Amino acid sequence: MSTHFALRSLAAATLGFAALAAQAADFSFSGQFTHNTDVVQIDFSLSSDQTITLFTDSWQSGLNFDPTLGLYNAQHAWLQTIDDNDGSFAGLGYFDAGAVLTSFAAGHYRLTLSLAGNDPIAGANTIGFTLDGSTPVALADWVQPSSDINAGDQKGGYWSLHLNGVDHAAIAAVPEPGSVALMLAGLAGLALGQRRRKGT
């Protein structure tokens, strides 16, 4: 009888831990941007339809840049741009970005954080931004569209991003353009070497 009780207890504990693992959680990320073209990408997932909250709290009355969020599906097609506080957040700054999304569908998503002025391209079937391909400008030298040129504000690069009510979230591994170019050059060198070997 004690073996039967132990097996039942073990089964109940296993189910309890599985339920805890599937529960929604809150995730916070922060970092530092240095250029107007900098972007951070966060992958997150939901195991069931639920209400989620996505917001920044780093604008700090103009000490740091004006953030913009882009929301994409698992195939990286654009779903929504979230710019400025939609009124759902009492403690956020005027230019912080945030939204409460009710009955958000289960699945895998990507959230991007960029500077206003380097906005997500709406309607695109891939992740892209308005300043893609332009020469990066240091934040100290860039005048952000929403800044007050008389105050010299929005020069800070600190960012802070929160995802509440999601099951999993992590910074996406996005290769730097220089790394991609180096990898392509290496592959071209290997192909050339292989071609020369076949020719002799």
What was the pLDDT predicted at 20? 43
198 vs 163, more confident: 163
Contact 57, 91 (CB under 8 A): yes
The b-or-e profile of 167-179 (16+ CB within 10 A means b, else e) is bebeeeeeeeeee
What was the pLDDT predicted at 45? 96
150 vs 155, more confident: 155
* Separation between Cα atoms, residue 121 and residue 127, nearest integer Å: 8
Q: What is the pLDDT of residues 55-100, one digit of tens each?
A: 998 888 778 888 999 999 999 999 999 988 766 776 677 789 999 9
Sign of CA dihedral 160, 95, 76, 24: positive
Res. 13: pLDDT tops 80 = no
Residue 178, SS3 per DSSP:
helix
What do you get for the CA distance between the two ends of the chain, in Å?
78
User: Pick from 157, 162, 160: which is nearest to 55 by CA?
Assistant: 162
What was the pLDDT predicted at 191? 66
Whole-model pTM? 0.74
Q: What is the pLDDT of residues 175-200, one digit of tens each?
A: 555 555 555 666 666 666 666 677 65
The single-letter DSSP state of residue 138 is B
* Separation between Cα atoms, residue 50 and residue 24, nearest integer Å: 9
What was the pLDDT predicted at 95? 85
Q: What is the pLDDT of residues 105-132, one digit of tens each?
A: 999 999 999 998 899 999 989 999 999 9
Q: What is the pLDDT of residues 25-66, one digit of tens each?
A: 999 999 999 999 999 999 999 999 999 999 998 888 778 888
Q: Which fold has domain 26-199?
A: Jelly Rolls (2.60.120)
What was the pLDDT predicted at 144? 75
The single-letter DSSP state of residue 136 is P
What was the pLDDT predicted at 185? 65
